[in-house]
Amino acid sequence: MRIDGIILREIHLPLLRPFETSFGVTRDRRIVLAEVQSEGLSGWGECTAGEHPFFSGESTDTAWQILLNELAPMLAAASPEHGGDCPRIFHAVRGNPMAKAALENAIWDLEAQREGISLSRLIGGVRESISCGVSLGIQSSIPELLATIEHELAAGYQRIKLKCKPGWDLEVFEHVRERWPEILLSCDANSAYRLRDEEHIVKFDAFDLLMIEQPLWHDDFYFHSVLQRRLNTPICLDESIRNRRDALAAIEMESCKIINIKLGRVGGFSEAIAVHNAALERGIPVWCGGMLESGIGRAHNVALSTLEGFTLPGDVSASARYWTQDIVEPEVTVSAEGEIIVPDTPGRGYETRTDLIEKLTVRRETVRAMAHVA
Ligand code: OSB
Ligand code: MG
């Protein structure tokens, strides 16, 4: 496909309420969007880097720089036929997976539009609806958390994930389990513990958690495998899994029994599908993580979640949980049964609200292929 232009925008989108994890609080999102124009069509991608390099080494500003000065010029000079061509096009740039994913996912969207099929169909998805869970940030009190859980369960969500850290763990689980002994419940530490906390983490086993997500270092496999041997509760890795090789290493070392797949963290659909396939072949269940995405990233997450191996409810939930108004039309909605119906229209399946995006834009750059002068 001929790339006619790549428009990078940074939008500011205030969250309805602050989201607190063990590494910090997010109030307002600064999101980089990539629009790739080709032969009359526009493909869209979202960069899931955070405002600060706290989840991974990337941030909104580093991604903007790498996209503008490195990746977008590379893509503009290439003629990709498929989203799957992008890893080769971006090969010279080390790291920066979230920046790469913004462009690669836009090409997958374009490819689906050109083929006249949904993104889910294009990647080989097998589901017409996906199962949804919610990720609940650290709250200021236990009663406040219990009220939030009550609200999300009433809305139909199938699994509750609690962000945790030392001081916001056992007592919280105890109160939640006392009230809801049967629900699917998990926790996510975002690397808040160390191996010396082993005796403490073993106590999590009493609460019948579906999994403990990323308890130890963000870049570790070995010490998670040591911890997993001491735990009955499955460990799920998020931060540690950057690609298929990492997934293979983690599975072989028994560092985890479940994998969270995030499009941005692994660099886009190509690698996300490769991680999924590696896990599926080895009987390791996967689910789709979230990064407080706007509707564009959310639409890509919906498509990814339709692959066969996504057998656990993901962190893909309704737009209305995050934003007063989302930048897509229709917004992403969740049924009373906690399911998102997968769109079957060509491409991402959710239209971009370009007027609203324009209003929210704080910076914008266009990258075009260098004109070839005869
Ligand atoms: O670790 O899954 C995580 C949000 C920001 C950074 C990391 C994580 C999260 C979430 C939120 O858990 C999931 C969502 O609702 O988008
Ligand atoms: Mg996580």
Render 199-241 in DSSP notation, one character per residue: HHHHGGGGG--S-EE--S-TT-SHHHHHHHHH-SSPEEESTT-
**Spacing of C-alpha 350 from chain mean position:** 17
Length of the chain in terms of residues written: 374
Dmax (CA) for the chain in angstroms is 75
Tell me what percent of the residues of the chain surpass a pLDDT of 90.
Answer: 98
What amino acid is encoded at 195 in this protein?
Answer: L
> Is the pLDDT at 373 greater than 70, yes or no?
no
> Is the pLDDT at 371 greater than 80, yes or no?
no
> Is the pLDDT at 300 greater than 50, yes or no?
yes
| Chain segment 37-96, per-residue pLDDT in tens | 999 999 999 999 999 999 999 999 999 999 999 999 999 999 999 999 999 999 999 999
Report the SS3 class of residue 329. strand
Residue 238 CA, ligand 1 centroid: distance in Å: 10
Question: How far lies 219's CA from each of 212, 250, 328, in Å?
Answer: 16, 11, 34
Pick the atom of ligand 1 nearest to 293's CA.
16
Return the exposure string of 266-301: e unless at least 16 CB atoms fall within 10 Å of the residue's CB, then b: bbbbbbbbbbbbbbbeeebbbbbbbbbbbbbbbbbb
Find the ligand nearest to 314 CA. 1
163 is catalytic: yes
359 is catalytic: no
Residues 25, 18: contact at Cβ < 8 Å?
yes
Residue 105 CA, ligand 1 centroid: distance in Å: 19
For the segment 251-261, the average pLDDT, to the nearest whole number, is 98
If 0-12 CB within 10 Å is exposed, 13-18 middle and 19+ buried, where does residue 101 land? buried
Please identify which of the residues 100, 163, 165, 257 carries the catalytic annotation: 163
Place of tokens 């897509």: 328
For the segment 243-263, the average pLDDT, to the nearest whole number, is 98
- Predicted TM-score of the model (pTM): 0.97
Pick the atom of ligand 1 nearest to 292's CA.
16
Residue nearest to atom 4 of ligand 1 (CA): 291
pLDDT band of 369, cuts 50, 70, 90: confident
- The pLDDT score that the predictor gives to residue 110 is 98
For the segment 238-246, the average pLDDT, to the nearest whole number, is 98
Give start and end residues of each alpha helix (H) in 116-169.
119-123, 142-154
- The pLDDT score that the predictor gives to residue 370 is 74
Pick the atom of ligand 1 nearest to 239's CA.
1
Distance CA 249, CA 2 (A): 38
If 0-12 CB within 10 Å is exposed, 13-18 middle and 19+ buried, where does residue 224 land? buried
Pick the atom of ligand 1 nearest to 161's CA.
12
For the segment 141-156, the average pLDDT, to the nearest whole number, is 98
For the segment 143-163, the average pLDDT, to the nearest whole number, is 98
> Is the pLDDT at 374 greater than 50, yes or no?
no
| Chain segment 321-355, per-residue pLDDT in tens | 999 999 999 999 999 999 999 999 999 999 999 99
> Is the pLDDT at 319 greater than 70, yes or no?
yes
- The pLDDT score that the predictor gives to residue 66 is 98
For the segment 189-197, the average pLDDT, to the nearest whole number, is 97
Residue 262 CA, ligand 1 centroid: distance in Å: 10
**Angle, CA of 237, 347 and 41, to the nearest 5°:** 125
Find the ligand nearest to 241 CA. 2
Question: What would the DSSP string read from start to end of 158-184?
Answer: SEEEEE-BTTBSHHHHHHHHHH-SSSE
Site residues for ligand 1, CB cut-off 6 Å: 21, 55, 135, 188, 190, 238, 289-292, 315
For 223, half-sphere exposure in the C-beta direction (CA atoms, 13 angstrom radius) is: 15
Residue 188 CA, ligand 1 centroid: distance in Å: 9
**Angle, CA of 92, 275 and 352, to the nearest 5°:** 75
Residue 369 CA, ligand 2 centroid: distance in Å: 37
Cis check: omega of the bond before 143, within 30 degrees of 0: no
Distance CA 267, CA 47 (A): 10
For the segment 169-186, the average pLDDT, to the nearest whole number, is 98
| Tokens read off for 316 | 């893909």
List, in sequence order, every residue forming a beta bridge with 130; answer none if it has no partner. 340
Find the ligand nearest to 211 CA. 2
If you average pLDDT over every residue of the chain, what do you get?
97
Residue nearest to atom 6 of ligand 1 (CA): 291
Closest CA to 89 of 69, 72, 105, 75: 75
Residues 87, 275: contact at Cβ < 8 Å?
no
